Structure 1
Amino acid sequence: MTRVLLADDHELVRAGFRIILAAQPDIEVVAEAENGRRAVELARRLNPDVICMDVQMPVLDGLAATREITDASRAAIIILTTFDREDYLFEALAAGASGFLLKNSSPERLVEAVRTIAAGDALLSPEVTRRVIAKFSEAPATASSHPPIAADGRLTELTEREREVLGLVAQGLSNSEIASTLFVGDATVKSHVSKILQKLQLRDRIQAVIFAYENGVVVPGS
């Protein structure tokens, strides 16, 4: 059962999300927060698996609340907003959010997002991946079949196959797409991704994408 905390200053919005999520047999809405400070308090007390977090809230906004929560717990956070703004996207990812979803998304998309985040995957569409790459990468956009490896000591912990999987994750490929590319099973890829995150001390795939480009595992255009 995936335990979810809803954080939004509009009661009607929270009620709508609760109805959608509570109708699923594998999802339980454990609490609701009307502001960011309350979300932080409930997250610490209830330790939910997933938090659906609004951006603009009183007392403490959603981005600040996300930073506080991710510093103190392993709860995965989906930023939900009506604003498709790039600054919100990058601030949310930098704060430690695992996904970014617009409130005008379908109910099915919300349920899929919660399940995706709960399974340990980041909610990164190819479009968002490209925007993350453009924002966080400083390498020139030139192709290279053997991009330079930065001197981050954590990279030495990865096997050659794990480094290869990291490169494919950084290109925005899903587990099934990586499995197809490497001719292995989905479970094998999932195991590789888990080990990569553990060895590199990263929270999720979003941080893995940023890490890979910042440290030269891949470069834009490769």
Structure 2
Amino acid sequence: MNVVRSETREYLDGLFTPGLRIGGDPHTPYSWIEIAEVQKVTAIRLPSGRLVVDSPWNAGPPRELASRIRPGEYPVDVSWANWPHLSDGYYTEHRECAATRLRVSDEPVAMWELALGVGEDPAQRAAGAGFAAEEAMGCFADATAWQPLTEPFRRYLTDVTGAGFGCPAPGRDTEDLCEGYFELARDEERRADLLTFGVPEGRGQVWAGRARDGEIAVIVAPGPVPTSPWD
């Protein structure tokens, strides 16, 4: 049975609650964040219902989630947080992504679980299942269109390598959203999309929120702010 600690549930429940302060001692700088705003980023098309949550830089087989959702087009939201941050000896309030959410339905979440990939052992949840987050970046994408959707990222690496030292970095054939914080790639032939988002350096985790009937209501990827209860 997948048992989620109460502090983890409180954290996940609060990530998209504007005005909520999350983290340690509210009087101690750098140990908390305050959710400032929840913003819709875009909607993405998932024609197969087979969702990949992985790094777009992954050259191997993508990490497709074991749980399927209904094929369709789904909104993606970002939760922006104010994060007390020390920079060059000065205290500043930095705005950062607290989490990114794929909204499958508007049903309230009754249960959270760490989402597993296809073929992963449920015992991996205890060790913190997730994906290798190259460049501190993850993405939502349709599994059947993974190759064409990630082509801009593979081409970018090839172009950077070929350009040589000191040459201007080439751009990527993607659409920037929210002042470049997100990148959107589209495959019109398959009518499928990929959306990137920020995650903690090194490893990204994926949480599935299930409604009371057991169906997935949301898929959440916590962002790079260092306040999660499993840090």
- Which TM-score applies when normalising by structure 1? 0.31
- Structure of higher RCO (CA pairs closer than 8 Å, 6+ residues apart): 2
- Which TM-score applies when normalising by structure 2? 0.30
Richer in helix (by share):
1
